[in-house]
Structure 1
Amino acid sequence: MPQVYNPFSTFNFSNRNCFLTGQPLTSEEEKIQVFPQWLMSSFYLQDKPFKMLDEHVSTYKDLKLPCSAAINNDYLEPLEQEVAAAFDKGYERIKALDDLKLFQWAGKLLYGIIFNEIQAGIRQQHAQGEEFSMSQAIIHKFTHLHLMLQSINLPLVFDEFKPFSLEIFKVNNAEDVFGYRDEINTLTFSLRVNDFGLIMCLQDNGANGRYHKEVLEKIAGQTLHPIQFEEVNGRFFYSNYLFNRLPEYNLLPVNDTLYLEAMPLRGISSKPLFDHWVNKTYGQVLENFWKNWGFLLLEIIKNPEQPMSYLFDAEGNFVPADKISLPV
């Protein structure tokens, strides 16, 4: 029977074990890049600063994961090649890609950042003579993300559910733009490059996609202006912060296959899946996502009932990208 690996049970985040299987490595040099080489080369990221949660600044190329050469060659490299080819062709190809592969790809990247953050946290705590600790809720999410990543190398099947919300949009991006965001506590990921933007909530069983159903129906098939994509992005990052369930899963081995089944999100709690949406807080999120355009919170929530929007006009109709005029 296939063996799953859980690094959180022993808190093993050393560079001597493969991040995906836990197998001992031959040397500490057996590593892969968190941001794949093809992505760093395409957008000249290698030496760009990458800010960690403890405020220290690393570079993109410094973020690495211990990984056995066999796992990398047999599973991760083929996945990278497939995703890289789709990126290269743009929106239509990304849209056609199996979304489970996009989930595995984004999940590996996000988990790579988490792994580096945990390593930094452990070093910092030990230097202060303290034990490293994390909240149980966060460990719960990260453990499940790591389990799901093993669908890359094990016969692990998601039983009639998707553990994520994924939205892909065609976007009029400027050339060479690399718009990356993540929020590791909520496992939210977004990337705006080439002629598309994608948003993923990696551990919500599709709840955020359903929450924004009305908005998504109105903008379906439209090409978005970057400011519109960032508005959708802000909505998803904020709603995933409001999402108040910790999804539970059952792992069922059947012969040589592992079936992962999702427990109902409603569970035993009678409260709604999402906490109350507060426009002022959403406005703060939007201010951050609209930094490039210099909008301030006061402008965004001038009308607290109806925050500023570049997606919809006052009547709630979609605003075509070419009709958008931004202050210079």
Structure 2
Amino acid sequence: MQFSDSHCFLCGAHTSPENRTPVFASWLQDRYKLRDKELLLLDKSVTTFGELTIPCCDTCHTQHVIPLEEEVAQAASQGIAGLQALEEEKLFHWIGKMYYGTLVTELIKEADPLIMPQNPVSENPKMLGKFREFFKVLQSMRVPMVFSDFIPCSLFLLEVSPTEDDLPFEYQDELTTMAFSIKLGSVAIVCTLLDNGIIRKALGKLYHLTKQEQLHPIQVAEFKARVFYAAYIFNVVPEYFERPLKPEDTHLTLDTIIDDVTNEIFNPWEMSAYAHMLEEMLKPWSIREKEILANPPQPISFLLDAQSNFQHMERYQKMN
């Protein structure tokens, strides 16, 4: 694992300045006209989707990154059915590459920042431990690897109703909690990257209710708030171990362990903290925390009614 501008982000091999790959693939930039759109980094410097690249050796680029991007591009062109048919591990690799590419960029920037971030990621030992574990499972992009009885992430695929949807592309990430979301046309993909599927189990009932449903964009925003907040209170870091190789083995097998004895898996749910997260996600609709917590024990929800049934919503009407 090398956070530098001269080592391949995936295998760590030394690279030349021209050996780079876009964090957000060229097909994404072309399909959603992203090339010149600006991105604000943690040190307050500005880059564009087109300029955001990371070191990548020729082998990793041609044998692993390009085939992966071609596969995801093909699946995404078929909407939610295409992405649902894709192996979850492929989506994990694809999201992991974008997340890790953004992370590497931020860590390189921290060495010579425009403005030093308030909480530098590189000075947080717990975060560096998380990144090391994540880097192990990301190696499954290039090393034949089997996860014994888990997948390292929680993935959620949501279909967005076209009625009031005017954003063909949207992207959000939270580096420290490893929560990530990306919207590709009518599909929103929400992911927490290093939780061994625990958050998907925790939100399983809600996710089940959204299956076969088209969600209004405000419902997608609420779903993202619930996932991002679950990642925020997720309190353990999985560890991964390679099984000893036998001569006839054709792949590595990874096992995992989570310390749920000395640590609670989730910190307590705090309504005010969740409301703050939800307020952030609901900014396009100008819904403030006061409205969200009008009934504190039951914060505002566009996904569920008072009986916790799914609410069908075609249009959003602002409450007086």
TM over 0.5: yes
Amino acid at match of 2:299: P
Which of 190, 197, 202 is the aligned partner of 2:193? 202
Within a 5 Å distance, the mapping from 1:217-236 to structure 2 comes to 217-236=208-227
Contact 2:43 2:113 in 1 (8 A): no
TM-score relative to the length of structure 1: 0.89
Matches within 5 A, 1:1-328: 7=1, 12-25=2-15, 27-124=16-113, 133-173=122-162, 174=165, 177-255=168-246, 256-266=250-260, 268-269=261-262, 272-322=264-314, 324-326=316-318
Q: How far 1:159 moved relative to its partner?
A: 1.4
Runs of 4+ in 1 over 4 A off after TM superposition: none
Q: State the identity %.
A: 33
Q: Give the AA of the match of 2:44.
A: E
- CA displacement, residues 188-223 of structure 1 (integer Å, 9 cap, x when unaligned): 111122111111111001111111123223333221
User: RMSD of the TM alignment (CA)?
Assistant: 2.1
CA–CA separation in structure 2 for the residues paired with 1:315 and 1:14? 52
Query: Alignment length, in residue pairs?
Result: 311
- In 1: Cα distance, 2:4 partner to 2:153 partner: 28
Q: One-letter code of the match for 1:213?
A: G
- Unpaired segments ≥5 residues, structure 2: none
Would the alpha carbon gap of residues 132 and 166 (structure 1) be closer, same or farther in structure 2, given more than 3 Å must change?
closer
Q: In the aligned structure 1, how far is the partner of 2:76 from the partner of 2:319?
A: 31
The answer (yes or no) to whether the contact 1:122–1:132 under 8 Å persists in 2 is no
Given that 2:4 and 2:104 are in contact with CA atoms closer than 8 Å, whether structure 1 keeps it comes out as no
Residue by residue over 1:273-322, the C-alpha shift from the partner in whole angstroms, topping out at 9 and shown as x without a partner, is 11111111111111110111111111111111111111112222211132
Partner deviation per Cα, 1:111-155 (whole Å, 9 max, x = no partner): 000000010011239x9xxx9942121111111222211111112
Task: Give the deviation of 1:95 after TM superposition.
Answer: 0.8
**For residues 153 and 63 of structure 2, what CA distance do their matches in structure 1 show?**
25
Distance across 2 between alignment mates of 1:166 and 1:15: 30
How many Å apart are 1:102 and its aligned residue? 0.2
TM-score by length of 2: 0.91
For 1:133 and 1:41, the matched residues in 2 are separated by 33
Gaps of 5+ in 1: 1-6
Q: Residues 71-124 of structure 1, C-alpha deviation per residue, up to 9 Å, x if partnerless?
A: 211111010001011111111111111010000000000000000001001123
Cα offset for 1:248? Answer: 1.4
How many Å separate the matches in 2 of 1:274 and 1:43?
A: 37
Q: Aligned partners of 1:244 and 1:67: how far apart in 2?
A: 32
Aligned letter for 1:24? H
SS of the equivalent of 2:266 reads coil
C-alpha displacement of 1:67: 0.6
